[in-house]
């Protein structure tokens, strides 16, 4: 399955967090790599799955159905946002 990058879901993340997160630095729980959200690998099908470009760990999942969203961000050990 081909992937997109984090820029492809900038709008969804901004809707959730109220700000542009594409330049935020995320740390992967799998390998510890620090990456800008714009650089992560994104797969879209029934929902959104984001994976670490270095070790393929699932960083987060977002599933949207009717009036609800399910969020699982367990693959981020931290997310550093510029103030
Ligand atoms: Zn990783």
With 0-12 CB in 10 A as exposed, 13-18 as middle and 19+ as buried, what is 68? Answer: exposed
Give the mean model confidence (pLDDT) for residues 70-82. Answer: 95
Q: What is the pLDDT of residues 6-45, one digit of tens each?
A: 999 999 999 999 999 999 999 999 999 999 999 999 999 9
- Whole-number Å distance, alpha carbon 58 to ligand 1 midpoint, is 8
Task: Give, for 12, the enclosing helix (H) or strand (E).
Answer: helix 10-17
Spatial distance between the Cα atoms of 31 and 8, rounded to a whole number of angstroms: 23
- Whole-number Å distance, alpha carbon 20 to ligand 1 midpoint, is 22
Report how many domains make up the chain. Answer: 1
- Whole-number Å distance, alpha carbon 24 to ligand 1 midpoint, is 16
- Whole-number Å distance, alpha carbon 65 to ligand 1 midpoint, is 28
- Residue 61 and residue 49 in contact, taking contact as beta carbons nearer than 8 Å: yes
pTM, entire model: 0.91
Q: Which residues have a Cβ under 8 Å from the Cβ of 43 and sit 6 or more positions away?
A: 1, 3, 4, 49, 50, 51
> What is the domain range of residue 52?
4-80
């Amino acid at each position: 399955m081909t992937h997109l990058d984090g820029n492809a879901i900038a709008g969804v993340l901004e809707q959730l967090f109220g700000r542009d997160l594409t330049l935020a630095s995320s740390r992967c729980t799998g390998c510890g790599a620090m990456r800008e959200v714009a650089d992560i690998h994104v797969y879209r099908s029934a929902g959104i799955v984001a994976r670490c470009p270095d070790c393929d760990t699932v960083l987060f999942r977002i599933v949207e159905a009717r009036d609800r969203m399910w969020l699982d961000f367990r693959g981020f050990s931290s997310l550093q946002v510029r103030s």
